[in-house]
Structure 1
Amino acid sequence: MEKLSAIVPCYNEQDALPYFYKEICSVAESMPYVEFEIIFVNDGSTDRTLAIAKQFAEQDPRVKYVSFSRNFGKEAAIYAGLSYSKGDYAAIMDADLQDPPSLLPQMYDAITKEGYDSAATRRVTRKGEPPIRSFFARCFYKFMHKISKTEIVDGARDFRLMTRQFVNALLEMGEYNRFSKGLFGWVGFETKWIEFENVERVAGETKWSFWKLLVYSIEGIVAFSTAPLALAAFTGVILCLAAFVMICFIIIRTLIFGDPTSGWPSMVCIIFLLGGLQLFSIGILGEYLAKTYLETKKRPLFICKETNIEDK
């Protein structure tokens, strides 16, 4: 019998875990032809998330848990879950039920019967989400589509079912700065997209603030495109040409009309403009340099404090 590993990154999800466990067990019962393995990855939670996961593990041998020494982030939790999973197939899903486990049978059929390497999900609506957050999310996907060759689908969730070959390809990329939505597209393979309407959290509060999402989007841009570097260089070339034209204009005007005294406000504005553009360009370079610096350190993506999985 084939095994399916359900990987569930958790950060302070004590309220949602009971609902999720009940739902995933119901789905497992509807798929008796598959052996389930449920891996809860505790990403340094400060509530009873780990205790609840241990409680599930005591009463259900299918339940496994991996607990970090501190909060390393969702990307590290995803990588850890994939590296500890033993299934022929692996599914990544959130504990808040915004990734409906009821879609798993359809995703499984897409791989086993239709021949796809993965089955991914995307939201067709953002009902219940703050309008400004939805607006910036759509802008991000449109921007990434223009500057990156890697396919990143609008509304795509991390919720997807993958073959072991797909999982192994992801694990081979041990980069420290991870952006899973981009990595999924970069490794290629054939993916079937399954659409569903947005589902609100079953319990608890989201851990993704606007600021965290903004930082995460910058991670994605830097990880999968060098367009910002090209933009900085292009801006520098344009300003140099503009400066050359202005110098020629000033020289010609001085020779013809003399050297009238100019006001200082325009000069200050130009200085501020050029200074701001220089700092902006340096900031872009610094962002790429910082990512390179972190990669060269070769630090582990996560540190496992305790787990009930005997052999990794």
Structure 2
Amino acid sequence: MPKLSIVVPCYNEEETIPLFYPAVEKVVKQMPVDTEYWFVNDGSSDGTLAELRKLHEQDPEQVHYVSFSRNFGKEAGLYAGLQAATGDYVVVMDADLQDPPEYLPEMYKAISTGEYDCVGMRRTDRKGEAKFKSFLSNQFYNVINKISDTKIVSGARDYRMMTRQMVDAVLSLTEYNRFSKGIFNWVGFKTKYLPYKNVERVAGTTDWSTWKLFKYAIDGITDFSEAPLAIATWAGGLTAFISIIGMIIVIIRKIIEPASSAFGWASMVCIILFLGGIQLLCLGIVGRYIGRIYMQTKKRPIYIIKEKK
């Protein structure tokens, strides 16, 4: 019988874990698979680890967990879970039940045919989510799909079931700065997306603020596109061209009207501020990429395990 590994990154999910496990168990017991759970405690500050210990004591053969020495981020938690999983198929889920377990049989049915290497879930709406956050998310997908060769399906979540071959391919990418939505698509393999309506958290509050999502989006863009560097290049070239035109205008005006004064200190200050702003923007973009190179060359581990069962 094939084995299904269920990977669940957790950060401050004390309230949701007792609800998540029985909800998923109710579904997978009806599926023709052996199962194992790999919960990853990402340095939670609440009682998440205690709840995971309880689950492991209840079923030590099936329920396992990895606990980090501190918070390393969801991407690190996801990577650790994939490394620990031993199943023929691996599914990634959130502990808050926003990834409906009832779709697991349909996902397994599609992937077990051998026609697909991955079956993912795609939200068709964002009901219950703040409108501004939804707007930013939609704009992110529009932007990254225009400037990157790696296309990301709008509304696609990390909730997906993958074959062992695809999981191994994902694990072969050992980059320090990880953006899994892009990595899942970059490695290729045939993927089928199942649509579903948005589901709200069963308990607790999300840790993903608008600011954190914005930074995550920037990480995704810089990981999978060189367009910002091209923008910096074009911005520098354009401002240099405008500056040359400006100097020519000043010289011609001085020749035609020798008695005329310069354009004035106000216009000069505006020009200086404009050019300075462009330079800082370009330096910031280049610095972003250099910073990521710097972190990669340090070869620090993506995560550090404190406890594993």
Note if 1:59 corresponds to 2:50: no
Work out whether 1:76 is the aligned partner of 2:86: no
Distance in 2 between residues matched to 1:140 and 1:171, nearest whole Å: 25
For structure 2, the 5+ residue unaligned runs are none
1:180-209 CA distances to partner (integer Å, 9 max, x unpaired)? Answer: 000001000000001100000000000101
Q: TM-score w.r.t. structure 1 length?
A: 0.97
Counterpart AA for 1:264: W
Q: Partner of 2:220 in structure 1?
A: 220
* Residue in 2 that maps onto 1:132: 132
Residue in 2 that maps onto 1:283? 284
What is the aligned length? Answer: 307
Per-residue CA shift, 1:108-134, capped at 9, x if unaligned? 111112610000111100000000000
Q: Per the alignment, in what secondary structure is the counterpart of residue 105 of structure 1?
A: helix
Aligned residue type for 1:128: G
Give the distance between the partners of 1:285 and 1:255, measured in 2 at CA. 41
Which residue of structure 1 aligns with residue 98 of structure 2?
Answer: 98
Contact 2:119 2:162 in 1 (8 A): yes
**Stretch of structure 1 that moved more, 78-87 or 255-264:** 255-264
Q: Residue in 2 aligned with 1:24?
A: 24
Contact 2:40 2:67 (C-alpha < 8 Å) held by counterparts: yes
Which piece of structure 1 moves more, 171-180 or 241-250? 241-250
Q: Provide the residue aligned with 2:294 in structure 1.
A: 293
- Paired with 2:234 and 2:80, the residues of 1 have a C-alpha distance of 40
Task: In structure 1, list runs of 5 or more residues that go unmatched.
Answer: none
In structure 1, what is the equivalent of residue 205 of structure 2?
Answer: 205
Give the 3-state SS of the residue equivalent to 1:57 in structure 2. Answer: helix
Residue 36 of structure 2: aligned partner: 37
Structure 2: distance between partners of 1:245 and 1:279? 22
Cα 1:100–1:5 change in 2 (3 A) is: same
**In 1, Cα distance between equivalents of 2:10 and 2:47:** 11
The aligned residue for residue 268 of structure 1 is: 269
RMSD: 0.9
Equivalent residue of 1:38, what SS? strand
2-structure distance, mates of 1:262, 1:211: 42
Quote the Cα distance in structure 2 between the aligned partners of 1:201 and 1:239.
48
| TM-score of the superposed pair, with normalisation by structure 2 | 0.98
Question: Percent same amino acid among aligned pairs?
Answer: 54
Q: Find the residue that maps to 1:248 and give its secondary structure.
A: helix
Matched, 1:171 2:171: yes
Q: Per-residue CA shift, 1:15-60, capped at 9, x if unaligned?
A: 01111011111011121x1001111100001111111111111111
- Letter of the 1:50 counterpart: L
Matched letter for residue 300 of structure 1: P
C-alpha separation between the residues in 2 aligned to 1:114 and 1:65? Answer: 30
* Secondary structure, aligned partner of 2:162: strand
- Structure 2 match to 1:193: 193
Ranges of 4+ aligned residues in structure 1 off by more than 4 Å: none
Distance 2:55 2:278 in 1: 55
In 1, distance between residues paired with 2:212 and 2:24?
28
Task: Give the AA of the match of 1:62.
Answer: Q
Deviation at 1:263, TM superposition (A): 2.3
Distance 2:139 2:271 in 1: 30
Q: 1:262: Cα distance to partner?
A: 2.6
CA distance in structure 2 between the partners assigned to 1:174 and 1:192 by the alignment: 25
Q: Distance in 1 between matches of 2:132 and 2:289?
A: 28
